[in-house]
Structure 1
């Protein structure tokens, strides 16, 4: 059954785990992975890969973070006290187009700088550990970078002012890392975020100049795990696989945000998987699952996709309504 639900696509150019991926029109930009500096564009319509660039040779990737900013810019940051901290920027132009000489400064990782061309390294002065870090973009002008990282930190970096504007501690007993962190905007003033912790808690963080934390229900099957991949679609979050000590999961879970309810599906991944990345395509009808490790800790070349309507019936209803309205 799982083989019918997940369609296998062309293998990755190199085995990848703990990769980062962002969407650019019909491209998935795969930005490195654990100890892998190469970045590729996967063209969804062509089912082909092209090399974009590599991270600088002095950058070691260890569960890093990549966020898409405005104007086709990518922001990448990571590091800890043992691994050099860095913050880099890429201005992306599609490698599938004919790129002229005027784009010489594009498609390469360069230092992130302020308006006076001074390098900015996010988290350097606070000695934050960004291994397994998660971040989202929010704010009224998409200028605020919300970051959650080990051990229990949540903070906000203002991308316009190039500085932190808020620091806080999550109300949890255990440490976080390799977790789920998604944003759901209630309105322009308040940013509501869902933060899932690997130790039996989900924390809802509401921000309006200060944080408010609320504990929510967590599914027993996923509570011990981390290293899962996840996507947020409207009011649901889907979780694929995960890892806990010697156990690797192939289960798929769904969390309904508004109802505060969980569902574990009978349909599963084709095999146990963790440290993969999940991302939606531009039309929001397919989920791509890229790379990862299996239950023998082998890093994989796997790339597969699955239809959203399999996991979210409401999405099928919306598609049908749209088609009917369009035909009228």
Structure 2
């Protein structure tokens, strides 16, 4: 593999912090991954200042893609898409469209990033809507892939089937699972549970050829019952934000209890190695980097408040997606399923031989 075989375009200006996060993360990532070339989209002077501060100016592992505008976190989709056509977001996405980059990443405005990448790259054949997918740590020590996490509030059963196909391809590429198990998030495991859309989606999944486990409930996410969990974006976003809030609450309560009095502080010092291991195990920064699936290119969304470590993890996910052929895997999975569904439909419309005799 040549050193420039994998190319990732970065929206350096996006996120709550921007350059003070993206540039140090890019420099550290480049040291760890010499086979990857980074295309840094944004203000040229600002990027060069950041590289100079990291003693990385002129290192040869990057290319600057000038962009004169920045999509702010509060910008509407209309502003980002129509009025800021030379934004760092747009330039990074265009690099993938033009074949200059294999993947693009941004920590900026999620709605704007989704709209821009969908407009520039378009969706894959057989996919109506892109979906946001990420990995959630579970008690097995692995991670559960979950989608959609907010891109699509209202979904049909067919959309949920498409999400399952894309989630399966992502799990195979990133987590190296040959036939990931798929679960449909529901209010119960029983077939009769759920609204009509979820029931219909379950029927489609059972006949899809995917490794469909069945309905799963909310607690199955952290149990690691299945490899991939599918739901609409409204439910997925609520679940994700609730889990993030719970994690922060537990951390705050533990700090408060271990600093309550001298005895608690002593106990905290004794328990520090265990607490550090626990913190590392559930550290959501390690799982930063949600994939926008269903587009004609690999697109990664970093959390807006990500620090350099978290943004570096998102860059690593982008590299793994390219290295493991996520786009080709998704395209192939969609094509294979469409063929199987068409064959099944053709088989179901065949007239039995005993009724094909004109004399009958």
Same fold (TM over 0.5): no
Question: Which protein has greater RCO, CA pairs closer than 8 Å, 6+ apart?
Answer: 2
With the length of structure 1 as denominator, give the TM-score of the two structures: 0.29
Q: Which is strand-richer, 1 or 2?
A: 1
With the length of structure 2 as denominator, give the TM-score of the two structures: 0.27
Q: Which is helix-richer, 1 or 2?
A: 2
